[in-house]
Structure 1
Amino acid sequence: MKAYYFEGDMGNKVIEKEIPENFKADATKYHSELVEKIVETDDSIMTEYLEGTIPDFDALKKTLRKAVIVNQIFPVFAGSALKNKGVQLILDAVVDYLPSPIDIAAVSGIDPDTEKNIIRNASDTEPFAALAFKVATDPFVGQLIFFRVYSGTLSAGSYIYNPRTRNKERIGRILRMHANDREEVKKVFAGEIAAAVGLKDTITSDTICDENNPIILDRIIFPEPVISLRIEPKTKADQEKMGMALNRLAQEDPTFKVSTDQETGETIIAGMGELHLEIIVDRMKREFTVEANVGKPQVEIKVKPMQLLTKEELEDLPKNTKRSPGFEFVNTIKGGVIPQEYIAPCEKGFKEGLDRGVLAGFKIVNVSVELWDGSYHEVDSNEMAFKIASSMAVQDACKRANPVILEPMMKVEVVTPDKFMGDVTGNLSSKRALIEGMEDRGMNKVIRALVPLSEMFGYMTGLRSMTEGRASFTMEFFRYDVVPNNVAETIIATRK
């Protein structure tokens, strides 16, 4: 055992010394406990240990690595990224103990043509397959697509195939990123992470692969935004720049959405929380020099019909259906009572009618629409007429289906000292929270609850006030739930 000291400019010099006398007893105690935990994962080494044989350092490292790879042991390191202390040892541990690409199972994907399952091993000899996991804008080289190579190799200047767009794109340059520094490389191999320059139509979660051996890897699933606000440029000069900035930011962040209110013409930005949107607005100012005025945050409310089909009725539905998130279109027109060229406008009209909503203008979700009959006029019928009729029909049907308002529910975890637990739980209950459980975590209590997002605005300020600044909380989107009748009435009244 040794003690490590971090000296020099920001701890860049790692110096190994003997453990000071006043720490030796504690170090010996915890070292023994660490060795016991490691040998418990391997029966043969455990037997030798019980017989009095202490495994050597290399055997312990090998055993620990196996245990980490199969999730039996989770190493914890101490350090300070701010002062650059302990960071070097953590990076060494990443190399020593975490799995390499060949230590984990082969990746599986879908053939875009046959929809059969395909296995790709982490080998340079396999066909090329990679997943784009991040899009970033660099002021010097433009748009960067970060990707992880699962199989095969990729050379700068070669062409890749995108199964989503069914198009080929040329890789201009390949960069290996080191924080803010970039290293240009000619080729990357299986298991490596790099950034590509020159891809125009690739977005986060796209698969890029060999055209002759196409594959679609598992996509990254991103939650829908739960909070939105109105934004407008402060000056006319910012108008055009704001549009470009929002477009760039939306490309980088799949959970950030930009839309236009059809009635008012205002620009609406939506994201995963107050802090998320605050950072977006701040980035617009810092990176794109766009000053903007923003409105109050609004919770993303949705509506769904409550008169549902029975299981037997669902099984009787035709198979010629088109599905998208929250919407299903079933076409059962027979005999040409509606010409084929008017089917697509009908579908578009149904979607627009659901987007406009029937309760206070909120979007309606989780709807299956069946088009089973109709008529047309050989001279006067046109696409716009069918689109408008479809929109009116679906809205009329939804009004008869007892629609209800849905609000986003957040999974909240509050960590607080024991003496404030009563105040915190009482405050959560006043916010219509559903307390799921409580547990101890060291000297503190942890409270887990489901809370409506609309009740969580400004919660951090109130939590700090009632706990003398000693409590903290985390929050993430969980699901949409039906709002109580009294709250629904208030929401509808505010929209009139």
Structure 2
Amino acid sequence: MKRILNLRNIGIIAHVDAGKTTVTERMLYYTGLIHKLGNVDDGNTVTDSDPQEAKRGITISSSAVSTKWQFDAKMYDINIIDTPGHVDFAIEVERSLRILDGAVAVFCAASGVQSQSESVWSQSDKYEVPKIGFINKMDRIGADFFKTVDQIEYTFGVQTLLLQIPIGSGDDFEGVIDLISRKALYWNKADSGRTWNETQIPEDYLNIVQVRRSRLLEQIAEQDDIFMQLYLEDKDFSQEAINEAIRRITLLRKAVPILCGSAFKNIGVQPLLNAVGLYLPSPLDLDAIEGFDPIQETVQIRKRLSTETRTAFVFKVLTDKYIGKLAMVRLYSGIIKPGDSFINSRTQQKERVSRIIRIQADKMIEMEQAEAGDICGLVGVKSVTTGDTLSELNSPFVLEAIQFPNPVISLAIEPKYRNDEKKFADALSKLASEDPSLHVKVDQQTGQTLFLGMGELHLEVRLETLRSQFGIEVNKGEPKVSYMEQLVKTVTHRELFKKQSGGDGQYADISFEIGPRDDNEEGLLFINNIKGGVIPREFIPNVEKGFQKAMVSGVLLGYPVKGMKVTLFDGGTHATDSHGYDFETAAEKGFKVAAMEAGIELLEPIMIAEIICPEEFLGKITGDVNRRRGIINSIEDSDNKQKVIAEVPLKETFGYISTVRTLTSGRGTVSLQMHAYKPVPANIAEGMIA
């Protein structure tokens, strides 16, 4: 029980280049797990161990590592997952946050809140993950701590609790002032920041510290009833009482504690580690997990205890050349030992665990057992995929699976050498099993193998993996956009399907209303309004299945329909000739006719482009955005540069990063994020259809 109380499962989340990996690296160094500092620019960090990550200087795959940190007479076990910041690899953030208990959101003090900052924050809110904020890179030119805090509050609609303020900024950044202890902290350069000095607050900071600390205590009192009693008694609060109140507020997600520093300059990381232990939850701080019993068909809960029935969730599947398939799991309850067996709630197959592995980035350490709260790898489980629940053999239990986004871009690929064809198929299968946002399919019309993903970089990285890891060279076509189709209006249609020429015939009669969804969601919204049993109950699922199948290929150019609403209100059957598959066929045929009556528009993926460039290149950038059918939403100052936020069709962004670099003489950057599907302009759609 004590071990679980002091266990922290946390993720490091941020926009690309905010310093996540450097923060993680410093955490591992100061906790004693590593004895030499690595840097992203040198390609020698622990969590970016993949050669492509070292080469590109970005995190591609979420990386798990476990360490220990002693503070205030407590030893904390900390499982850290360093997540990617690039939008093309957002699925790695999604599946990490699905199983984590807390998160450290890292922001660049110069760039502030950026587009992917919003995405990862939204993903963490989706899973109700408590967070602390770390404003990094206070040593950067243009760093502005208070401006970044204001952006966090405005963008995310949250209240922040400033626990520290910086001493200086940019080249003048020296250390931080702890508002709780009222001490100035300065780190020693001679030992790479392993030690620091606590001194009195500099005189020119005394007023701002008094104002900020008073405001902090007011905010805590406003959010926490227990602390409010102490506050009203007007006593001098102990640091322990303040920290306990901040912890309660953080766990309830009422506010976000904020710290600051410069991980690269080795300033401020130890207080961040302290904050992880003090304020972020242990598994026991969270509610019991809720799942579904597929046999009883009832909702059940399980406590997050080692004494509970075993329940594990598969959040990632890896293929290792030495040990084969490795399932990364979060063990929510119970204990696992080598030789134990589970039931896979999705396949109903028995899975036996041969080994349990603790992942330390690119290293693997054998474990004698795993307990509730642990994040570990299981060897021997052969038929699992991401999102599976593994539960006790006689006690099936299903946790909510992870929802993966649809790919937005595709490439036609083929092996360069005929001898690689079998190896090519096996390699693609392994890649797709490891990365659920990567799809592989064969075009029925051309016979080409299509590689579908979340962006150019995503596909580029996976193709490089084919070459480096599997030794397969490929030929590739031009990237293609994954469009969607959408019904324009609602119409009513009757479809009569019958084939009665002797023998066992076919007959199905359905009347339905079909049109776009009212809620703008994706997928099929099917409403059964059949009265009096004119269509037997057992045939209704066949009608729904028929519409679902029809949506996959649309009617205009064969792209899937984004979302539609179908209301089945009348129909008929034949006493002997009606079967379930007849109603499925009727729905498919009826859809194609009714969809043309309703009208179809073509939708294309629109990206949010965030372009940062020196002011002298602003005209070139805005002109280029306009040429790409882009819409500029805003232009603002950012770190002595100009930040352009624009909506640009995905089709117009191929090769965009290189173009921006060319237009700005290498001084501009761009990040792209999927925004929404919007109608293709009529003149362009007509050309595509023609």
Q: Into which bin does the TM-score normalised by the smaller protein fall? A: 0.7 to 0.9
Name 1:252's counterpart in structure 2.
434
Name 1:75's counterpart in structure 2.
258
Name 2:282's counterpart in structure 1.
100
* Corresponding letter in the other structure for 2:677: Y
Report the Cα offset of residue 120 of structure 1: 2.6
Report the Cα offset of residue 365 of structure 1: 4.8
1:189-224 C-alpha deviation (Å, 9 max, x unpaired): 221111111112211112222243333222221110
1:373-413 C-alpha deviation (Å, 9 max, x unpaired): 687998xx999999988766643443333222121222343
Q: Quote the Cα distance in structure 1 between the aligned partners of 2:305 and 2:247.
A: 22
Distance 1:377 1:66, change over 3 A: closer
Q: Does 1:457 align with 2:650?
A: no
Q: Does 1:148 align with 2:330?
A: yes
Distance 1:252 1:47, change over 3 A: same
Counterpart among 180, 201, 214 of residue 362 in structure 2:
180
Report the Cα offset of residue 474 of structure 1: 2.8
Secondary structure of the residue aligned to 2:671 is: strand
What percentage of residue pairs aligned between the two structures are identical? 34
* Corresponding letter in the other structure for 1:144: L
Distance 1:179 1:265, change over 3 A: same
Name 1:405's counterpart in structure 2.
602
Counterpart among 653, 664, 680 of residue 483 in structure 1:
680
Counterpart among 386, 392, 407 of residue 225 in structure 1:
407
1:279-317 C-alpha deviation (Å, 9 max, x unpaired): 01001111111111111110001223323258xxxxx97
1:14-45 C-alpha deviation (Å, 9 max, x unpaired): 244577x9x96688788767755653443387
Q: Using the TM superposition, name which of 381-390 and 125-134 deviates more.
A: 381-390
Secondary structure of the residue aligned to 1:217 is: coil
Q: Quote the Cα distance in structure 1 between the aligned partners of 2:301 and 2:642.
A: 45
After TM superposition, list the pairs within 5 Å mapping 1:340-489 onto structure 2: 354-367=551-564, 368=566, 372=571, 394-416=591-613, 424-425=621-622, 427-436=624-633, 443=640, 446-489=643-686
Q: Quote the Cα distance in structure 2 between the aligned partners of 1:42 and 1:329.
A: 48
Structure 1: segments with no counterpart, 5+ residues: 311-315, 319-323
In the superposition, the TM-score normalised over structure 2's length comes to 0.58
Q: Does 1:39 align with 2:236?
A: no
Q: Using the TM superposition, name which of 190-199 and 358-367 deviates more.
A: 358-367
After TM superposition, list the pairs within 5 Å mapping 1:246-285 onto structure 2: 246-285=428-467
* Equivalent residues of 2:441, 2:451 under 8 A apart: yes
Secondary structure of the residue aligned to 1:287 is: helix
Report the Cα offset of residue 469 of structure 1: 4.0
Q: Quote the Cα distance in structure 2 between the aligned partners of 1:257 and 1:118.
A: 33
Q: Using the TM superposition, name which of 461-470 and 186-195 deviates more.
A: 461-470
Distance 1:5 1:138, change over 3 A: farther
* Equivalent residues of 1:7, 1:15 under 8 A apart: no
* Corresponding letter in the other structure for 2:258: P
Distance 1:100 1:414, change over 3 A: farther
Secondary structure of the residue aligned to 1:161 is: strand
* Equivalent residues of 2:262, 2:268 under 8 A apart: yes
Counterpart among 101, 125, 129 of residue 311 in structure 2:
129
Q: Does 1:14 align with 2:194?
A: yes
With a CA cutoff of 8 Å and minimum separation of 6, indicate the structure with the bigger relative contact order: 2
In the superposition, the TM-score normalised over structure 1's length comes to 0.78
Report the Cα offset of residue 231 of structure 1: 0.3
Distance 1:157 1:33, change over 3 A: farther
* Corresponding letter in the other structure for 1:120: R
Name 1:299's counterpart in structure 2.
481
Report the Cα offset of residue 416 of structure 1: 4.7
* Equivalent residues of 1:303, 1:403 under 8 A apart: yes
Q: Quote the Cα distance in structure 2 between the aligned partners of 1:49 and 1:337.
A: 68
Secondary structure of the residue aligned to 2:256 is: coil
1:326-368 C-alpha deviation (Å, 9 max, x unpaired): 3578998999999x99x97x98877666545432333445354
Superposition RMSD in Å: 4.4
* Corresponding letter in the other structure for 2:629: R
* Equivalent residues of 1:230, 1:296 under 8 A apart: yes
Name 1:313's counterpart in structure 2.
none
Q: Using the TM superposition, name which of 286-295 and 214-223 deviates more.
A: 214-223
Give the number of equivalent residue pairs. Answer: 472
Secondary structure of the residue aligned to 1:231 is: strand
Secondary structure of the residue aligned to 2:457 is: helix
Report the Cα offset of residue 111 of structure 1: 2.8
Q: Quote the Cα distance in structure 2 between the aligned partners of 1:66 and 1:470.
A: 45
* Equivalent residues of 1:337, 1:375 under 8 A apart: no
Name 2:298's counterpart in structure 1.
116
Q: Quote the Cα distance in structure 2 between the aligned partners of 1:105 and 1:382.
A: 47
